[in-house]
């Protein structure tokens, strides 16, 4: 028996997630919805990526995702001398593999053109080969015909927009009029585009964040220094493909990368309150009142601009309880700006702490 | 705005818990009880430890504990040439410091004698100096008079029992008759004593696990390789000093170290079921049925001895969802032994998986 | 200026090796030779691996290797529905890529047959397609004709030898007579075969250790818990392809995995002395003599079986100086066994410490 | 035998440095000198620190230091209700402990006054109690009488200089005239003072960097995110107390913290060239020339301001080889600024790469 336990003790340091295990990302649901963690922009060897499609499923599970789209380029296939072009190959290879692992796989592809209109992902399609046509507008039309959600990728990508700022060209205005832009990336790989917040409000677009990974995801976002890959949080009615699609068209998303959360205030505000809870004071002196805030999420929150008598700034560390000491005469609720919850091009979320 | 966010992004990698922040250990409560994480055996410079008492409070918060006892030796004070002996000094220094940080501090001391009877901690006392008397039985009596919980420390400590096996000497039998042994350590520092499980059952003792730390706790249990220090999980009616004391005398504990949980089956079994949940099958083929087990705790569980048609062994990784593929004809519930939940000297917990 | 430096300070935590940077593995040379760190067994998508060939070059650089062989299976190409079979494809894709990064790339392939004779790598070949013939002996002959070094892979692989023990079948004896077995793996992935030490001595074979990686190397040997992938240390006259080949045929190798070094005593003994140096005593009392051993390598050495008056066991931590306290009357040299330097099926290296 | 090796393999993941083991910091010597890594500013429970003095020796060994000074405050002893004041106590407790571990211990104390003149460390003293006098100038005089090296601590400390900028008050000018300021801190804890570089040049002062640690050093500079504590690199003729003292008075130092090296160009320039070596080109095309730079030190170097035809910026990663691709017509040497080697208030080191 003693032997058995000793070996148990030694074993513990070699436990890593293996095939079929999905990390729990500690992020809450919204009332009435389940929070699906998604990456809608991923490459494989079937365009200019470096891994076989099933690797993307394994990576997604290990990273705790619920859904991914593999979106190889239609127009850029640099490995074609060795791998004959079939835009549905990654989908065929992965479909059953994902199903057996309870990962929602979205059939997608990237329509890859010069700016304007730039790169767009067609998501929830049925046959990518039908989108491989000359005219870009014909490609979008073919996607729409399949019921696609069209996502404008990295709209301020510096290879296409040297100043890093997304611009609405006539082509985009035409697409908007036709209802052919449904979503837009705020985070892509290590870039982000503040102006996207404004576009989302003006044109009622769904905000997304994706990795656009070409290499190995665990090397691009190495542990333990970095916390997570860029991901879109989708508030779906249920955890399945069709509910996810419905939520995407309905715009129920926030985006999450490193320690930043961004999106519409309508989702960001209740989400913050789902993450934290404020205790009654546990200690009081003549001068001070002591209470605690529990942050039950993987995201630290940086509160700033506290008023006199309260701490000027507070870090609510992730998965931790933070003690707050305020003046005994202070009026609740305490009001703060959350520096790392972005709700507009130049706005962060304003919150209230009360018990 | 862009500047602001960039600095936010860079900040994320230097966030550590600071004064007044308590890590969340992800371990569930039992219905009707709150799980308090406790360390009842700790030293400071007031005996042979190397740190000032308030360091122990800071360490406990950072490690996610709810309660600690500082238990300096009464009979061994090697620093007395520099630090005059006062067995209540650590308590006086720490009492307010702990209260302001919402950590439950237990007044304690270690009665440190040769084996038998060995070392005993007196916990929940009022004045340690009154226990510094010649006769060990008088010391226990003085502790009991203060309402103490007496814990037999490291009963098989190799410095006192070269074979590592705890033994019941006449002195212990006398103490048991008088009701002077309430608890006993199963884990102490890096040692553990399988026979303690038998003693707990035979004499109705409360099982405990403690660090017995003398140096720096974060160096003794360094991250990221090791997960946690030894701790006692106490199932208390509320999170306060008196509820904790009541639960200790009532024996409502489990012990936790590295990836091992141990204690009475009456608590271990419901605790396991609080940690995990089994999903309905998400996929089915002619040959196989696929379902998932969510482990919503920091403890991985190693299931072994699965019957034919089910996986022989399964690791339910901590804070993760594990996919299980069984034969389509298999009968639920699936029965397993949990190799790292110890319920007796030679017994591990038997569990059932069903959805 | 202050701004500049502050940003410098913040930058430091995001430094990872990037394209074209090679980690220094801290392992010494042998006098007259340069130590090349090599992996002679690697797969890509051109057989049953999961990554594009250039990924293997990037991995090797990051891991500090000097040379690798990509050795896709000739007889097992499960991705052929998507990737037409060309056994030289990985070589063509990688050759220039490796040259531009100063990594020695060896043209190789794996002749993949049932046991006996099992799997063999042909290394230093010129055209893998010429080896894709029916008869295994014809395949070997074609390899030899190209000047190949033939390595017996994982000779006790449990999929082919359920007891894990390598066996010399008649086919192997024929090959040995023809001089068609040049090397043999001691470490392969996470397996190892003690008996290989005996084969190496009896038949004068070159001992090797290789990863046999199919997936992502950094996920198979994750940091910071694990230190390194399995590798062959080759003592070459110079750091180039032809010197490496010469050394391999001459048998000048040791193998290294985790914290174990193994191989012929003739190389293991001087190698140990290149790694460590012993200082003169720095302190002396009536009872004790204090001296230091510097271990200037990435390998910790576990010394055991010390005689009376000296420490029974000593760990010479990697890249560290270890203080040794011996009795003042002790006779130098101190004699030890090095538990983690394997020189035979049942032998470890015996060493002497003297200043 | 197999058992033995397996247990060896498992052991490797629990190896940490233990008592008497000193980490190797990979930093080169200068020709004719040995580089001693030192921390001249450290507190214990004998003033306002939180650990027993021997802990500081253990920490220093584990961090790879050669020498430390324990410098408790003379004028600030907040623990005096529990610990009677004796300014030599930490020295008495540590002296033999350090000697037995081959760590150079310097007898020191901190003369702790309001600004001006602020805080000064007296190093290499014989009796700290003799410095505990009312007049600060008398305290300095008593130190000088014992042969002390006087170090101006954190001259721009924000608690004493709210703008963070050191200022030369009349008191300092008097001290400089008397030759009573020998050294000055550039790095202290997480602060640094650019103007110190100017003071060092104008008044020929020795630049130092120290931790000023009060709590646990491994928690203040946690691994693996941070690399090292602030330290002074002293170029001494030999590794002993008196050579160290001679070098300090002679001003042969550089300072090192995180990834920054700072000090006089006269030492910084040869030090950089000791750290790196440039290879001959290993590959050449019509357009490009490929060569490598080995950085054999723990410090990454960030080269900037490269001229046309060469990379604009290059990171020479620590303990790694970096490939450089330049235009084939480029003229050697390549000239760069090293952004993280500070040689003046507004200057960084200029270097040349040639093979």
**Which residue in D has a C-alpha nearest to residue B14's C-alpha?**
D225
A9 and D CB contact within 8 Å: no
Chain A residue with the nearest C-alpha to that of B323: A20
CA–CA separation, C348 and D5 (whole Å) = 10
Asked if C280 has any chain D CB less than 8 Å from its own CB, the reply is no
B9 lies within 8 A of chain C by CB? no
Output the six-digit token pair for B116.
């038998």
Q: Does D222 touch chain B (CB under 8 A)?
A: yes
Q: Is the pLDDT at B343 greater than 50, yes or no?
A: yes
Using DSSP's 3-state secondary structure scheme, residue D75 falls into coil
CA distance B286 to chain D (A): 41
- What element of type H or E holds A200? helix A196-203
pLDDT at residue B355, as a whole number: 86
Nearest to B13 among C13, C224, C225 (CB): C13
Task: Name which of C82, C215, C218 is nearest A219 (Cβ-Cβ).
Answer: C218
Closest partner CB to B194 (pick from A1, A194, A346) = A1
Closest CA to B41 of B117, B118, B151, B125: B151
B168-218 confidence digits (pLDDT tens): 999 999 999 999 999 999 999 989 999 999 999 999 999 999 999 999 998
Q: Best mutation site among D6, D13, D16 for testing chain A: the one with the most A CBs within 10 Å?
A: D13
pTM of the shown model: 0.95
Chain B, chain C: beta-carbon pairs less than 8 Å apart: 8
Contact residues, chain A, for B5 at CB < 8 Å: 192, 194, 260, 342
Q: Decide the pairing of beta strands C104-112 and C67-70.
A: parallel
What is the DSSP secondary-structure string of D31-48? TT-EEEEEE--B--TTTT
Each residue's pLDDT expressed in tens, for chain C with a length of 355 residues: 344 443 344 333 334 677 889 999 999 999 999 999 999 999 999 999 999 999 999 999 999 999 999 999 999 999 999 999 999 999 999 999 999 999 999 999 999 999 999 999 999 999 999 999 999 999 999 999 999 999 999 999 999 999 999 999 999 999 999 999 999 999 999 899 999 999 999 999 999 999 999 999 988 887 665 568 999 999 999 999 999 999 999 999 999 998 999 999 999 999 999 999 999 999 999 999 999 999 999 999 999 999 999 999 999 999 999 999 999 999 999 999 999 999 999 999 999 999 8
Q: Are strands C314-316 and C301-304 parallel, antiparallel or unpaired?
A: antiparallel
Q: Is D288 on the interface with B (CB under 8 A)?
A: no
Chain C residues with CB inside 8 Å of B225's CB? 224-225
Supply the pLDDT for residue B12: 39
Say if residues C280 and C291 touch (Cβ distance below 8 Å). Answer: yes
Q: Which of C14, C89, C225 sits opposite A82 (nearest CB)?
A: C89
Q: Which of A13, A290, A345 sits opposite B225 (nearest CB)?
A: A13
Nearest-by-Cβ selection for A51 from C14, C50, C84: C50
Structure confidence at residue D98 as a pLDDT band (50, 70, 90): very high
Q: What's the mean per-residue pLDDT of chain A?
A: 94
Is B8–A260 a contact, with Cβ atoms under 8 angstroms apart?
yes
Calculate how close chain C gets to A82, using CA atoms only, in Å: 7
Q: What is the mean pLDDT of residues B120-136?
A: 98
Residues of A in contact with D225 (CB under 8 A): 224-225
Give strand pairing partners of C23. D320
Closest residue on chain C to D11 (Cα)? C259
The Cα–Cα gap between B180 and B200 comes to 14
The pLDDT value given to residue A20: 80
Distance CA B254, CA B261 (A): 7
Q: What is the pLDDT of residues D103-120, one digit of tens each?
A: 999 999 999 999 999 999
Summarised one tens digit per residue, pLDDT across range B87-103 is 999 999 999 999 999 99
Give pLDDT tens digits for D340-354: 999 999 999 999 999
Q: Do residue A259 and residue B8 have CB atoms under 8 angstroms apart?
A: yes
Q: pLDDT tens for residues D108-153?
A: 999 999 999 999 999 999 999 999 999 999 999 999 999 999 999 9
- HEC string of chain B? CHHHHHHHHHHHHHCCCCCCEEECCCCCCCCCCEEEEEECCECCCCCCCCECHHHHHHHHHHCCCCEEEECCECCCCCCCCCCCCCCCHHHHHHHHHHHCCCCEEEEEEEEECCCCCCEEEEECCCCHHHHCCCCHHHHHHHHHHCCCEEEECCCCCCCCCCCCCCCCCHHHHHHHHHCCCCEEEEEECCEECCCHHHHHHHHCCEEEEECCECCCHHHHCCCCCCCCCCEEEEEECCCCHHHHHHHHHHCCEEEEECCEEEECHHHHHHHHHHHEEECCCCEECCCEEEEEEEECCCCCEEEECCCCCCCCCEEECCCEEEEEEEECCCCCCEEEEEEEEEEECCEEEEEEECC
Element (H, E) at A335: strand A334-344
What residue of C is the nearest CA neighbor of D12? C259
Any B CB within 8 A of C14 CB: yes
Using CB atoms, pick whichever of C10, C14, C225 lies closest to residue B225: C225
Q: Which of C10, C222, C223 is the best residue to mutate to test the B interface, defined by the most B CB atoms within 10 Å of its own CB?
A: C10
Average pLDDT of chain D to the nearest whole number: 94
Q: Quick one: closest CA in D to C293, which residue?
A: D21
* Closest Cβ opposite residue B10 in set C10, C224, C225: C10
Is the model's pLDDT at B224 over the cut of 70?
A: no
H or E segment to which residue A206 belongs: strand A206-210
ipTM score: 0.94
pLDDT value of position C15 = 47
C348 membership: H or E segment, kind and range = strand C347-353
- Chain B interface includes C9 (CB < 8 A): no
**Which residues on C lie below 8 Å from A218 (Cβ)?**
216, 218-219
CA dihedral B215, B220, B223, B228 (to 10 degrees): -110
The nearest alpha carbon in chain B to A100 belongs to B283
Q: Does C6 touch chain D (CB under 8 A)?
A: no
What is the DSSP pairing of strand B206-210 with strand B191-192? unpaired
* β pairing state of D119-123 and D104-112: antiparallel
Cα pseudo-dihedral A216, A217, A222, A226, rounded to 10: 160
Let me know: does C326 contact C310? Beta carbons within 8 Å: yes
Distances (CA, A) of A321 to A317, B23, B64, B74, B219: 7, 6, 9, 35, 23
Beta strand D67-70 with C288-295 is: unpaired
Which residues, including other chains, have CB under 8 Å from residue B314's CB and lie 6 or more apart?
B293, B302, B303, B306, B322, B324, B336
> D138 and D131 in contact (C-beta within 8 Å)?
no
- Provide the pLDDT for residue A6: 40
Cβ atoms C48, C73 nearer than 8 A: yes
Q: How sure is the predictor about D2, in pLDDT bands with cuts at 50, 70 and 90?
A: very low
Q: Does A325 touch chain B (CB under 8 A)?
A: yes
User: In the structure encoding, which two tokens stand for residue D281, read together?
Assistant: 């080109």
Which residues 6+ apart lie within 8 Å of C212 measured at CB? C41, C42, C43, C153, C154, C188, C189
Q: Chain D: nearest CA to C269, how far in angstroms?
A: 19
Any CB–CB contact under 8 A between A12 and chain D? no
Q: Which residues of chain A lie closer than 8 angstroms to C89, CB-CB?
A: 82
Chain C contact set for D339 (CB, 8 A): 4, 8
Is D194 an 8 Å CB contact of chain C? yes
Nearest to A207 by CA among A250, A159, A240, A173: A250
- Candidates B13, B21, B340; nearest CB to A320: B21
* Residue spans of alpha helices (H) in chain C: 2-11, 53-62, 89-99, 136-145, 170-178, 196-203, 217-220, 241-250, 265-275
Map tokens 């039908």 to a residue: A130
B14 contact residues in C (CB cutoff 8 A): 13
Residues 6 or more apart from C107 whose CB is under 8 A from it? C69, C88, C91, C123, C124, C125, C126, C128
Distance from CA of C52 to the nearest CA of A (A): 5
Residue pair A68/A60 in contact by the 8 Å Cβ criterion: yes
What pLDDT shows up at residue D17? 76
Closest CA to D153 of D190, D110, D202: D110
Provide the pLDDT confidence category of residue D11 given band limits of 50, 70 and 90. Answer: very low
Band the pLDDT of B47: cuts 50, 70, 90.
Answer: very high
Q: Find out whether B186 and B193 touch, Cβ atoms under 8 Å.
A: yes
**Residue ranges of chain A with pLDDT lower than 50?**
1-15
pLDDT at D313 over 90: yes
What does the pLDDT read at residue B221? Answer: 86
Which residue has 């020929």 as its token pair? D204
- Beta-carbon pairs below 8 A across chains A and B: 125
Burial classification of residue B31, based on how many CB atoms lie within 10 Å of its CB (0-12 exposed, 13-18 middle, 19 or more buried) = exposed
Q: Any CB–CB contact under 8 A between C223 and chain B? A: no
- The answer to whether residue C8 neighbours chain D at the CB level (below 8 Å) is yes
Which of A36, A137, A25, A132 is closest to A85 using CA atoms? A132
Residues of C with CB below 8 A from B13's CB? 13-14
Residue A318 burial by Cβ neighbours in a 10 Å radius (0-12, 13-18, 19+): buried
From CA D352, how far away is CA B89, in angstroms rounded?
62
Task: Kindly list the partner chains of chain C, i.e. chains with 3 or more CB atom pairs below 8 Å.
Answer: A, B, D
Chain B: list its partners (3+ Cβ pairs within 8 Å).
Answer: A, C, D
| pLDDT of A29 | 98
Q: Is D219 on the interface with B (CB under 8 A)?
A: yes
Tokens linked to A237: 């009615």
Name which of B45, B48, B222, B224 to mutate to probe chain D: the one with the most chain D Cβ atoms within 10 A of its Cβ.
B45
Cross-chain Cβ contact A14/D14 below 8 Å: no
Which H helix or E strand runs over D203? helix D195-203
Q: How far is B201 from chain A (nearest CA, A)?
A: 18
For chain A positions 32-51, those within 8 Å of chain B (CB to CB) are: none
pLDDT of the residue at C225: 57
- Quote the tokens at residue C202: 């009896």
Within 10 A of C301 (CB to CB), how many other CB atoms are there?
A: 25
The neighbouring-strand residues paired with B112 are B119
Give bridge partners of residue B76 from the DSSP assignment. none
């Amino acid at each position: 028996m003693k032997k058995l336990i000793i070996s148990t003790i030694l074993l513990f340091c070699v436990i890593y997630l293996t095939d079929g295990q999905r990390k729990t990302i500690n992020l809450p649901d919204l009332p009435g919805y389940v929070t699906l963690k998604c990456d809608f922009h991923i490459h494989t060897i079937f365009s200019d990526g470096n891994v076989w499609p099933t690797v993307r499923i394994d990576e997604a599970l290990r990273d705790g995702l619920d859904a991914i789209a593999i979106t190889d380029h239609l127009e850029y296939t640099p490995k074609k001398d060795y791998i004959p072009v079939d835009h549905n190959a990654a989908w065929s290879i992965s479909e059953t593999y994902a199903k057996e692992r309870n990962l929602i796989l979205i059939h997608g592809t990237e329509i890859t053109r010069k700016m304007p209109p730039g790169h767009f992902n067609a998501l929830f399609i049925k046959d990518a080969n039908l989108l491989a046509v000359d005219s870009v507008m014909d490609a979008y039309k073919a996607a729409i015909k399949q019921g696609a959600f069209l996502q404008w990728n990295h709209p301020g990508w510096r290879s296409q927009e040297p100043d890093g700022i997304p611009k609405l060209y006539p082509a985009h205005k035409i697409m908007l009029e036709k209802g052919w832009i449904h979503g837009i990336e705020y985070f892509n790989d290590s870039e982000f585009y503040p102006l996207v917040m404004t576009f989302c409000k003006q044109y009622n677009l769904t905000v997304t964040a994706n990795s656009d990974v070409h290499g190995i995801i665990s090397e691009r976002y190495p542990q333990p220094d970095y916390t997570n890959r860029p991901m879109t949080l989708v508030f779906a009615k249920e955890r399945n493909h069709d509910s996810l699609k419905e939520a995407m068209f309905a715009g129920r998303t926030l985006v999450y990368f490193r320690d930043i959360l961004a999106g519409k205030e309508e989702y960001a505000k209740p989400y913050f309150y789902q993450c934290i809870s404020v205790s009654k004071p546990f200690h009081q002196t003549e001068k001070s009142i002591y209470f605690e805030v529990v942050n039950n999420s993987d995201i630290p929150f940086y509160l700033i601009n506290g008023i006199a008598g309260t701490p000027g700034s507070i870090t609510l560390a992730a998965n931790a309880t933070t003690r707050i000491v305020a003046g005994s005469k202070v009026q609740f609720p305490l009001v703060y700006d959350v520096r790392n919850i972005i709700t507009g091009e130049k706005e962060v979320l304003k919150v209230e702490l009360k018990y």
